[in-house]
Amino acid sequence: MRQAVILAAGEGQRLRPFTVNKPKGMLFIAGKPILQYVIEALAQNGVRDIVMVVGYKREQIFDCLGSGEQFGVDIVYINQEKQLGTAHALTQVQSVVGDEFLVLPGDNLIEAGTIADFVNVGPSAMLLKEVDNPLRYGVITIEDGLVKQIEEKPEEITVNTINTGIYAFSRDIFQFIGTELNLPDVIQKMLAQGCAVGAFETEDTWLDIVYPWDILSLNNAVLRHIQPTLEGTIEAGGFVRGLVVVGKDSVIRSGSYIVGPVIIGSNCDIGPGVSIMPSTSIGDNVLISPFTEVRNSAIGADVTIGPGSIVQDSVIDEGCTLGGHFTACSGEVEVRVNDAYHGVNVGAMIGAGCSLGYNVVAQPGVIVGCYSQVQASKVIHGKLPDRSTVF
């Protein structure tokens, strides 16, 4: 396989507020958009001819990835005007793909090893993964190395092998799509007509991002494999231990304590007396004021966190200003997304451009919409829509 189609047109409604201003594939994980990890995995396996299906907020993908030259690949963009499904997205590329090609989602975290063997298989085939929570995915029944059945959102779990959404196809796939909108339904049609679809499993990294708190799982997965580099300045009395990346022109001030795995972007000002604990990523141009602790969190670019704050198990999107003594409490909580409730252990999920006053307390699982304002000494909980004001 020397060509790949990346499906990156989706919006990610369940990931709001983090997808209000960006497509799912442009969510930053440990300093890079998810799409970049997919492209790098392909490039490292010699797949450099990439067709990318875009749609929602596509200009951000163009601006970030361009022609792909910086990653050693060649990207051709195809627009999907209406995001109707994965099979519909694939039909958009029929005129530009070759005889054989891979299909990958642009919103899954994969590494080079995930697809290292799969790039050498012939069509038609699916890449599978054994997971602990198969209810979220299509469960695959395998027999003699072939896919026997796909069951979407099964009521009863008999196997833990799921569809990663990564496929190897030939142009024959277009004969089966017809009016189907999603690729699992197309595969079912192929199986019903006696076509053989190979089943290949991976034990390497594959993580899906569906809900806001999934950002933390992906963040942690990437951080465990980073290479420590210190391009910034560590002042006397600053302490850095473990896998830590400090970007160019960043300053870790005296008395600050950084324990990896941690990524700190460029032009950041940390401390003095700040503690940054494992599984934390911090974007560019971030100010973390004295005597603040950040733990297991993803902090976006251009964020300011006031003194004496505690941020744990939280996602803070770009451009937020958090006043001093902000507390993001973490704990077990039921979070509602659309019409479903999810039991998770999480802190605060704060969208882009929010401004929170001094002494604000965020209860576990709070979701704060983009550009919201919260006055000082307030306790916030539940879900706040975009541009909310809490007096």
User: What is the SS3 assignment for 283-344?
Assistant: CCCCEECCCCEEECCEECCCCEECCCCEEECCEECCCCEECCCCEECCEEEEEEECCEEEEE
Alpha carbon distance 287, 268 (integer Å): 6
* Domain count across the chain: 2
CATH number of the structural domain spanning residue 77: 3.90.550.10
Let me know if residue 48 belongs to a domain: yes
Let me know if residue 139 belongs to a domain: yes
203 and 233 belong to one structural domain: no
Whole-number pLDDT of residue 313: 97
84 and 140 belong to one structural domain: yes
The residue segments making up the domain with residue 247 are 225-390
Tokens representing 383?
A: 């879900």
Let me know if residue 121 belongs to a domain: yes
Mean pLDDT per 10-residue segment, the chain (391 residues): 92 92 93 94 95 94 93 94 89 92 94 92 90 77 88 72 91 91 91 91 90 94 93 95 96 96 98 96 98 97 98 97 96 85 92 97 96 97 95 92
383 and 294 belong to one structural domain: yes
147 and 74 belong to one structural domain: yes
Whole-number pLDDT of residue 154: 67
Query: 0.95 exceeded by the pTM?
Result: no
Let me know if residue 199 belongs to a domain: yes
179 and 269 belong to one structural domain: no
Whole-number pLDDT of residue 155: 67
Let me know if residue 220 belongs to a domain: no
Among residues 216, 254, 218, 261, the alpha carbon closest in space to that of 246 is found at 261
135 and 256 belong to one structural domain: no
Residue 3: how many CA atoms within 13 Å on its side-chain side? 15
**Three-class DSSP category at 204:** coil
270 and 330 belong to one structural domain: yes
49 and 164 belong to one structural domain: yes
Render pLDDT for 280-310 as a digit per residue (tens, 0 to 9). Answer: 999 999 999 999 999 999 999 999 999 999 9
